[in-house]
Each structure stands twice: as C-alpha cells, then as structure tokens.
Structure 1
Amino acid sequence: MLEHLLLDTLVTGLPLVVVFLGIHTVFRLRSDFDLTVEGSFALGGAVTAVALVAGIGPVLAVLAGTCAGALAGLVTAVLHFVLKVPVLLAGLVMSIGLFSVTLHVLGVPTVSLLGAMTLFGHGGDISASVLLAAIVAAVLALYGLFLRTEIGLALRVCGANPRMARSQGVDERAMTVLALVLANGLAGFGAALVVQTQGYADVNMGVGTFVAGVGAILLGELIARPDGSAIGRILICVLVGTLVYRLILVGALRIGLPAADLKGMTALTLVIAVAAHRYLGSGLRRVGRGLAREPIQAS
C-alpha cells in the first residue's frame, strides 16, 4: 500500500516539478501572476502527443512541446508590451485562446498514446520513476546554474528590486520576456512528460495548473526551510512542495475520494497553504527573530 502510494506520487508528481518551477519563475522571481501556463501546459502536451502518434521520436516530441509552450509565453509578452495589457490579463486571455488552439492541434478532445513509442516504453512505475527523477534532477541543476549566470542574476534582481536593476543598466522588459518564455517553456516540457506517463493528452489537462502550482510553492516554502544559498532554497522548496501536493491528492484518491473532486481538493489545498503561510509562516519568522536576539548563555 505505502509502496504504491509513493510510486504514484513520484510518477505523477515529478513531471509537475518542472511545471511548478516555471510558475515559480514568474510568481516569485518576478512577483507576478501568469495564467498562460494553464494553456501552455495543455498545448505542450497536445503537441507532444500528436508528434508521438505521428511517429516522431520521443525526444523530438518533447522538444516540440517545450517550444510550443515557450511560444505561448512569447505571445503573452507581446500582448503585455505591444498592446499594454497587464501580465495577469494577458495570461488570462491566452489561457482562454489556447483552449481553441489546443483543440485544433489534437483534432479531438482526447488523444491516446496507445501503441506510440514514448520515453518510458513499456516499463513499470519503478523504471518510469527512476527516469523521471534523472530528468527532473537535470532540469533543476540546469535551472540552478542558469540563475547563477549574469542573466539569471539580472532576472532575480529585476523581481526583487526593479529600481536597482534599472540603475545597473538591466533591461527590465527583456527580463520580463525571458521570464514568460522560460516559465511557459518549462510548462510545455513538464506537460510533455505528463502525457507520456499518463498515456494520453486532453484539451482540459491544463485547468487548475496555476492554482496547483501556487499551492505547491507555498507548501514547499512552509515545509522546507533549508540552510544554504537562495537558489538551493528555491529548488528544494519547489521539489518538496510539488511532491507533498501530489502525495495529498494521491492519498485522497487512495482513501476513496472521487476523481471528480480532485479540482476541489486542489483549491482546498491552496486555501490551506495560503492560510498556513500567512499565520504559521509569520509565527515561525517571529520565533526566528526572537532566537536571533536571545543572547547565548555560557554553560
């Protein structure tokens, strides 16, 4: 029972780590809300599924899904800067419009990958979990290395202190475009992994992705408070939060929760995470400040 619970959590949760890492890029690094991920996630999965059914190799299919998601993020950036639409509204418009685009890509509401060659072949959950863990570890490592580069530092500074970033000559517009493209590219990449683990792509698969991502991020920040670099904290919080979020949902299904209630469970998880982050998180910070001020007694 416990083994199946953990395997289900890994198989369904690890692909979402990549997606929620993209959401973190805009939500935390840029302090903004980009609902495009709801559409880019479904679009990336649809493009990947259609490519696999057409006989294109799994690696190229994943690349195609990633590019589709990144392109959606670029269009959001164009709406924001050219038409002066706020990111939140531009993302909402894109998430609605991409539903029709995804449906055209699929041709039907759901496309099965039965008989198509995927990254995971015909292996079981254990082999899929190992491969997914390796892929996700590589993505997290590359993302961490990117944030240490000059461009990655500029991206972080723009979100934390835009005025200082401008004074240092950082192009804030370019960093916003980069954040949107990167976030939605990661969403497309994660969706490409999801459709290959679940065996199908669905036009509605992106619904609730943003809410789930924010909830997982807040859970991770509340549960995992590792010491070390800021980049390390980002990666660990996203990883832990995503897996805990999936563990909650998988556990709820195991004890008999109807699948139709999963979206409600996701919304409830977000509410609990926000409330806990608001009250328990502030309490922990006050305790930490109190301990920092307390003098050390000599024994």
Structure 2
Amino acid sequence: MPELPEVETVVRQIRPKTLGRQILSVRKASASMADCPFGTFRKHLPGQTIERLDRHGKWMFFRLSDGNTLVIHLGMTGRLGIAHHGEPPAKHTHLRLDLGVEEELRFSDPRRFGELCLYDSSTMHERFGPHRLGPDSTTITPKAWETAIRKSRRPIKAILLDQRAVAGLGNIYVDEILFDGQVAPARLGVTITTEEAKRLHRSMRLVLGRALKHQGTSIRDYVTGQGVPGDFQRYLRVYGRANQPCKNCSAPIELTRTVVSGRATHWCPICQTMEVAPTESLSANR
C-alpha cells in the first residue's frame, strides 16, 4: 500500500499541473468506485477550479472553488497522474477529469481498495477531523509523538500503524523506523522510555526523508505521478529481507506475523531490543 512518501511524491508532482485549473468535464472509463456514484462527480465537478491540493497522512485533498473537497486515497493499487487526451486510459481507470490544454487527471485502481469521493465542509470534519485522523507524520512534534506512544499498552508497531495516533505510516516504513530506532516491534508503548521515543521520532524523520528523496518504494504496483517506479526499495534495511543478513550485525532478519493482526513484520532480534532501558523509570509511563 502506498504510504506517506509515495502519496507525497504524487502530490508534489501533480500539484503544479492541477492548481488553478478548471475542471471542464468528467469522464469515467470503467465502473464507478463504491464510495461515490459517478453521477455525483458529473453533477458537481464541472466548472470547479482546483484551488489547493493538500495531503494528510495517506489522503489527498483537492480543495475546490465551491467549498467541496475531492478526496482520494490510493488504497493498495491506486494510481493518480496527468495524461494527454490522446493516451488510451489504463485498465481500471475510474475517473478522468478534463483540465484543458489536452490534459486529464486520471485515477485508476485495479483492486478497488482506494477511495474516491466528494465531501462538503461538514462531512469533511466528520470524516477527517482530529478524532478520526491523527497528526501527520511529517509535522507531529516530538512531545505529541511520545505521548501517542507511551499512553498505549499496545505493541509499538500497532500504535504507529494506527492512523488515529499518527497519520501516514504503514507496514514498510514502520518496520524501517523501528529498526533504525533499535526498538522491537512487539514492545508495548508503555515500556518505551522518553529517550527511546525521541530516538524513534528522529528515525521516523530520517527514514521518511530518505524515502521521499527516492520518490517512494515500488515493490508491486506503486508508480509516481509521472508513471515511473520509486527507488527506495533498493535501500530497505529490514522490510522484505526475511532470512537475509542484517546490515548492522549480520544476524538473519526475522519475519513474524504475530505482532499486529497477522501482518508481516520484519525485524532484527539482535539490533532491536525487547528489553526496557534500565536507566529510566517506567512509572511515569503509566
């Protein structure tokens, strides 16, 4: 599933091509997504100008001139990009927005786990307010990050995957962040010390920054807004490397599916500690 670096890469690439552009018409190339019927787009989108394009977590928000917001989530296999009118639409293209000058914004999603819908301001708050979506991973403060982690008795990996706690992280980058921060994925949040939380926050900023530099990770379906794969898969240190030697200590990377609802978790049992640091009391965590 595309995570924050992949979605941010798409946003950065299509923002210059969409801001200030008026949607002239709406077309579909296959059946509508389940979230919104095609008639909703056909009725409300033509004539609207895209005034802003924002991202929060894994969500993209196209702010329109009538106050409504077109919301897109790439799900597992979604792709969003600019195409010329003459290019045949890819299979499973669900929406085509004519932006003039022979260009369209196209959204495709073979597996249909993504979301494509139009919301007014009141529904936006209900659906994407802070009670539903936590702080973005790129802007969360070290203190808010520490609070989100240390108040929970869940495994640290489950906390970081919870979009209500912190938005934007998924399986790939949580594994990479925990490895860089030297914390085992099964450690409970309440056992994480202040120093460890600070270290994990630094690791999060470092890993996401590197992934953005390489335009994200392409393992299966993800391509950028320009239709090319990302490159960060070449630099993954644990994810997808089960039984291969750890790049720090040479011990084999382990793969387990018991930490979070059967999801694959890659980690190094030597570099990532399950032990609580003895130098800091945990009483303040509870």
TM-score scaled by structure 2? 0.33
The structure carrying a bigger strand percent of its residues is: 2
TM-score scaled by structure 1? 0.32
